[in-house]
Amino acid sequence: MARRSDHTRSELRTMIVEEGRRQLADVGLARFSARDVAKRIGYSVGTLYNVFASLDELLMAINGRTLELWAEHLRARLHRPDEGDRIATLVRGYFEFATANPKSWIAIYEHHMAEGVAAPDWYVALVADIMGLVAAEIAAALPGASRAASLALARSLVATVHGHCVFTLYQTFDMLGETAPVDAALARVREAIVAARG
Amino acid sequence: MARRSDHTRSELRTMIVEEGRRQLADVGLARFSARDVAKRIGYSVGTLYNVFASLDELLMAINGRTLELWAEHLRARLHRPDEGDRIATLVRGYFEFATANPKSWIAIYEHHMAEGVAAPDWYVALVADIMGLVAAEIAAALPGASRAASLALARSLVATVHGHCVFTLYQTFDMLGETAPVDAALARVREAIVAARG
DNA sequence: CCAGATAATTGAGCAGTGTTCAATATATTA
DNA sequence: TAATATATTGAACACTGCTCAATTATCTGG
């Protein structure tokens, strides 16, 4: 039996999330298993369930961590000194992170909470953070627009890029003969911004 | 024991696919179960596995049927006598089918074949059929454009609408405060067509 | 330093899953 | 009718998420 003071509760939490992330990135959501995560950190299933009430809760924590890393990636890209076209940087950053971490990224979208249960506030905040990065650049590109208008456009453009990204990772674009999805997504984004400028 | 001549092999196949579709629409991909489908058609699991080699194969068949029904829905909308704006009709048809059959529609995208295995030809053909419906309207909207160019734009616009539709069904738009996703998608499509017209 | 309270850890057990396959029942053919 | 072929079955296997009584470690008050 692991000695109960080997790790504090919060150390255990991060161990489980870290190892869970590794496992999820390896095998994907469909083959993700609580027992495997427990085994890999040297504890039993029971301990895992003592820290997380359910697999759903653990997966939310893992996906939350993935969202954090995604936001970090986007910020790092935006902070590069030689980045001129910041909107292209965001679009490329979206694809980069998704293609570099396909299974983790897909899990963000394919893991659903129980019917009718809303995502917790801390999770919504992480999504809103990424949205905020985009909204700021859209607002900068639309000097005259209201805050609400640039937010609305940002939401729609994230959805646009997301659609292209999903079709890339899900191989739908392969079936349809698309070979340059990032360029296509960027073209759509630019057209929308030009149109919004009037 | 069911008498072996109660149903022919192909009758059995369609029974399984139909009942499977019903079950999938009810409970969603995550709770879909071969045993339940078998029970509901009055046969044992073994018989189901005699017709379909695996759950994956059954799910492909079910998703294929969903794609057929989706194409039918779009064609029916386009054939209405009073349909003026055919592109708006397609965008609305995309959302209509998805929101009317959320779990079946989501299963099309969330069911993945084993790693590295390509979708069978008959399945690719069904996807291409829907794509063709869109491509035809895009081509009609771009009189001067080459076949390749309008196909490429059609692919990108389907991805655009898809992104908005996914964010709607996955409640991502709820988190972000978006309330009129269909209008947003349609606006993006229109801007792209205007831009392509030159 | 020790007894008692508290809390962490365990893993067998439950009900479920996809899948297999020997046994059985039915139909076809000679 | 006998022999062959095929459809159907369901117990069995290895897995899953999850629970909870039992065990063990730690902390606290005297």
Largest CA distance in chain B: 68
Q: Looking at residues A125-144, what average pLDDT do you find?
A: 97
What's the confidence (pLDDT) of residue B160? 98
Mean pLDDT for chain A overall: 95
Q: Is residue A1 over pLDDT 80?
A: no
Q: Looking at residues B177-186, what average pLDDT do you find?
A: 97
Name the residue closest to D20, CA to C1': A46
Q: Which nucleotide is nearest to B4 (CA to C1')?
A: D7
What's the confidence (pLDDT) of residue A2? 63
Task: List B residues 124-163 in contact with A (Cβ-Cβ < 8 A).
Answer: 124, 127-128, 131, 151-152, 155-163
Distance set, CA A103 to CA A109, B112, B114 (Å): 10, 12, 13
> Does the CB of B55 sit below 7 A from strand C?
yes
Please name the helix (run of DSSP H) or strand (run of DSSP E) that holds residue B59, with its range, or none.
Answer: helix B55-79
In 3-state terms, what secondary structure has residue A177?
Answer: coil
What's the confidence (pLDDT) of residue A83? 74
Please name the helix (run of DSSP H) or strand (run of DSSP E) that holds residue A186, with its range, or none.
Answer: helix A181-197
What's the confidence (pLDDT) of residue B167? 98
Q: Is the pTM of this model over 0.85?
A: yes
Q: Express each pLDDT in B71-119 by its tens digit.
A: 999 999 999 987 779 999 999 999 999 999 999 999 999 999 998 899 9
Asked if B181 and A159 come within 8 Å (Cβ–Cβ), the reply is yes
Q: Which of residues 3-32 of B touch strand C (CB under 7 A)?
A: 3-5, 32
| Higher pLDDT pick, A198 / A74 | A74
Using the Cβ of A41 and the Cβ atoms of chain B, whether some distance falls under 8 Å is answered with no
Using the Cβ of A63 and the Cβ atoms of chain B, whether some distance falls under 8 Å is answered with no
What's the confidence (pLDDT) of residue B121? 97
What's the confidence (pLDDT) of residue B18? 98
Considering only CB atoms, A164 lies closest to which of B30, B159, B167, namely B159
- Phi, psi (rounded to 5 degrees) for A116: 80, -5
pLDDT confidence band for B198 (50 / 70 / 90) = confident
Q: Looking at residues B47-60, what average pLDDT do you find?
A: 98
Distance between CA B77 and CA B70 in Å, rounded?
11
Set of chain A residues whose Cβ sits within 8 Å of the Cβ of B167: 155, 158-159, 162
Q: Express each pLDDT in B110-153 by its tens digit.
A: 999 998 899 999 999 999 999 999 999 999 999 999 999 999 99
Asked if A188 and B156 come within 8 Å (Cβ–Cβ), the reply is yes
What's the confidence (pLDDT) of residue B1? 61
Minimal-distance CA residue of chain A relative to B187: A192
Distance between CA A121 and CA A133 in Å, rounded?
18
% of residues, chain A, pLDDT over 90: 91
Distance between CA B193 and CA B161 in Å, rounded?
14
Q: Express each pLDDT in A178-189 by its tens digit.
A: 999 999 999 999
Distance A189 CA to C18 C1' (A): 44
